[in-house]
């Protein structure tokens, strides 16, 4: 069944939800309305106790997301821009802190805010037609939806300096070589592969998956000693579940 608001389509199959960002004529650029609908959809899916994995993709065959909506940003003053970045970061954090694994199926352009959205996901699969770039510095701005932070954490600082300072566009294979995507898939097989990956995760113990995501994600912000404490708590937590007892 496909449901949802016009700008976000949601399809649930078994324990996996697929969310499609749906502004194909504008290459799924993130305007405020789309971000608000995305936020609302994430809040709703978070409450669905049947779900185990979320997949995010873009509508059409050209773009995952071609960035924040350039037209909407054009006339912002300093304060409005900062507020917009804060709003965008809040939505990206809803993905980052989503209690289930989130897979980005990057089906085309992932530019600026679109690259940042993909980076907020836990796992990224790219079609062989996908490309990635941070065009912001060419537009007189910095990334504003988490790119400076998440790219550097994912690849180390030098790649982040390179991609953000040059704005160069990379193809899926280079993104894979840089550790930015898990795999490159022929375009017509991308979603099948994303469903397969999601299903393989959905078969594992849900509390173990949730706690593993939390420990990996939150551990990155901590010292090793603090992170290991987090892991001990996560490990203990699993011993109250049927999946561990069976
Ligand atoms: N915003 C709004 N509309 C867009 C965007 C965008 N980011 N990208 C594409 N579109 C629209 C085009 O305007 C066009 O609309 P129309 O048909 O009405 O003219 C339609 O999508 C199709 O695009 P093109 O005709 O340009 O298609 P091409 O195949 O010629 O080119 C490209 C495709 C290369 C992807 C080109 O569209 C492009 O360069 N787009 C802009 C990409 C970009 O610079 N993105 C980064 C934006 S900055 C950003 O994301 C910052 C995030 C942090 C925000 C911080 C808050 C303050």
Q: What is the mean pLDDT of the chain?
A: 96
Structure tokens at 158: 């030098």
Whether 136 is catalytic: yes
Closest ligand 1 atom, residue 68 Cα: 50
Percent of the chain with pLDDT over 70: 98
Whether pLDDT at 131 is above 90: yes
Question: In a mutational test of the pocket of ligand 1, which residue from 7, 28, 29, 72 has the highest number of ligand atoms less than 8 Å from its CB?
Answer: 29
Whether pLDDT at 46 is above 90: yes
Q: Is the CB of 26 under 6 A from ligand 1?
A: yes
Residue 8, sorted as left (phi over 0), alpha (psi -120 to 50) or beta, turns out to be beta
Nearest to 106 by CA among 173, 56, 41: 56
Give the separation between CA 8 and CA 230, rounded to whole angstroms. Answer: 35
Whether pLDDT at 1 is above 80: no
Whether pLDDT at 246 is above 90: no
Structure tokens at 217: 């994600």
- Looking at residue 100, its pLDDT comes to 98
């Amino acid at each position: 069944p496909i449901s949802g608001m016009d700008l976000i389509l949601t399809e649930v199959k078994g324990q996996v939800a697929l969310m499609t960002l749906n502004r194909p004529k504008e290459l799924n650029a993130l305007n405020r309305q789309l971000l608000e609908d995305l936020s609302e959809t994430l809040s709703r899916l978070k409450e669905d106790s049947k779900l185990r994995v979320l997949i995010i993709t873009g509508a059409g065959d050209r773009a995952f997301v071609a960035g924040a909506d350039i037209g909407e940003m054009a006339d912002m003053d300093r304060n409005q821009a900062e507020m917009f970045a804060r709003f965008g970061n809040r939505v990206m954090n809803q993905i980052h802190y989503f209690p289930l694994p989130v897979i980005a199926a990057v089906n085309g352009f992932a530019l600026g805010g679109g690259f940042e959205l993909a980076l907020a996901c836990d796992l990224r699969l790219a079609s062989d037609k996908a490309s990635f770039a941070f065009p912001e510095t060419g537009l007189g701005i910095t990334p504003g939806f988490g790119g400076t932070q998440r790219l550097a954490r994912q690849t180390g600082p030098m790649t982040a300096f390179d991609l953000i300072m040059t704005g160069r566009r990379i193809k899926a294979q280079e993104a894979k070589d840089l550790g930015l995507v898990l795999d490159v898939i022929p375009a017509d097989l991308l979603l099948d592969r994303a469903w397969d990956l999601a299903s393989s995760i959905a078969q594992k113990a849900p509390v173990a998956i949730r706690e593993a995501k939390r420990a990996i994600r939150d551990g990155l912000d901590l010292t090793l000693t603090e992170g290991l404490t987090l892991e001990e708590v996560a490990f203990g937590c699993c011993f109250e579940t049927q999946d561990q007892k069976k």
